[in-house]
Amino acid sequence: MSDTPSTFPCKTRSERDTLGEIELPSYAYYSAQTARAIANFQISGIPVSDYPLFVRALALTKKAAAFANLRLGDLSPAKALAIEKACDDISNGQLLDQFPVDVFQGGAGTSTNMNVNEVIANRALEHLGLPRGHFDVIHPNNDVNLAQSTNDVYPTAIRLAVLFSYRELSAAIERLASAFEAKAREFRDIVKLGRTQLQDAVPMTLGQEFMAFAVTLREDVLRLDEAAHLLKEINLGGTAIGTGITADPAYAAIATEELSRMTGIELRRASDLVEACWDTGAFVHFSGTLKRTAVKLSKISNDLRLLSSGPRGGLGEINLPAMQPGSSIMPGKVNPVIPEVVNQVAFQVIGADLVVTLAAEAGQLQLNAMEPVIVFNLLQSMKLLTNASETLTDKCVVGITANIERCRQNLEAGTALATALVSLLGYERSAQIAKEVLETGRTISEILEATQALPASVENDLLNPLHLTKPSRLRTPDC
């Protein structure tokens, strides 16, 4: 086995690149250009390896390239097989610690591309029975990066990483929607007060309120699918600026076809590779869809906090699971910590969308050098939204209970039923009754009984709130 950081932390080896000689840890599969990037970009402390699906996407892209070069006769069978084996090792999760370059990096992703090239080259040499660094046999640039550029490999890998990652997010959102739907069925007969602008509105069921949460989240699963479709167009084969320099004319089609086969994703070659080299519109669109999802999750979390507020001095219509003591000074206080953390995730994702937007706008001429911060924010936002959705499902929604008596009290104490009186008594008389409710504290039913404003049969229909949670027609009584 190869040396590891934990086993030989002090051993080094010397390697050379176009800028001169540099010392590397002996255990490293990466080489000189990666070492320089590690030294240059000590920014966030977040390495590319924190996003294994991105590393996998890069390895698969390199494998597709090696296959195409083999098929075109530009790479020998022995080299191609060794490179493909190295790519398989990486895409299967091995050597993940060999991608230590910071996610924030200048150079339009060149440091990450070279990190991958160097690791693949050294791993391929091992598959040939040779020690690392024998680049006269397999070279990071001449062989692993053959017919490629960072400018087509890197954006292709970004698209693949997003396509791999969003499926997990969609599944998490669908689980959350299903949890809300289960609660909607459980709460379907619990009538409560609907509210607009935080003021009393008309009756609804708690089930209707929770079903709306499920429906709006499932809408976003569909929107994510639509946005992801745009990411299936790739510029592999365009090389430096989309003109395809250094690549065989048949290379792009072969590499794209092979990458589709390996990933199971129906990728398509961009119709104009020059445009595709710098266009980041699909990233902006996908980021906007993530923001849309974040906004909805935050709104739902706000509603859960409001509906559970109190528990005595607020609405108190639902009870959230008690997850932890809520105060260091107030005994018995329990806070809605799960919806609160979802709110914070949403704020982060909304801010990340602005970063993606600004980075996309910053592209110049034939390249956008800001793609590293784009991929970081897209992958981070999906990771956060996935975790937040799963947390909201498992630690909050499935354990929500209804405070049925409080729902009834709030409904009867309000003026919600006054709206149903409009078609029977007119707006002005109904408004007078609503005003009397607020001034006297009596309920609408008590006022109607006292004034005998309606026949008993009509009043009984009116005072059944469940009838008022769906379309109905109350007829004006004969006079």
Report the alpha-carbon distance of residue 446 to residue 452 in Å, rounded: 10
Q: Which sign, positive or negative, has the C-alpha torsion 272, 277, 279, 282?
A: positive
> 131: burial class by Cβ within 10 Å (0-12, 13-18, 19+)?
exposed
User: Which residues, 6+ apart, have CB-to-CB distance to 342 below 8 Å?
Assistant: 297, 298, 301, 388, 391, 392
Six token digits for residue 468: 């008022």
Structure tokens that stand for 77 in this block: 């069978």
Catalytic residue among 170, 327, 445, 457: 327
Instruction: Give the residue among 232, 78, 87 at the shortest CA–CA distance from 145.
Output: 87
Active-site residue flag, 327? yes
What's the chain's Rg over C-alpha atoms?
A: 31
**Nearby residues of 311 by Cβ (< 8 Å), 6 or more positions away:** 319, 403
Q: Round to whole Å and give the CA distance between 48 and 66.
A: 23
Secondary structure letter of residue 468 according to DSSP: G
- Residue ranges of the alpha helices (H) in 187-205? none
Q: How far is CA 355 from CA 144, 156, 161, 228, 287, in A?
A: 32, 20, 19, 19, 10
Question: Which of 19, 273, 17 shows the shortest CA–CA distance to 148?
Answer: 273
Could you give the residue numbers annotated as active site? 327
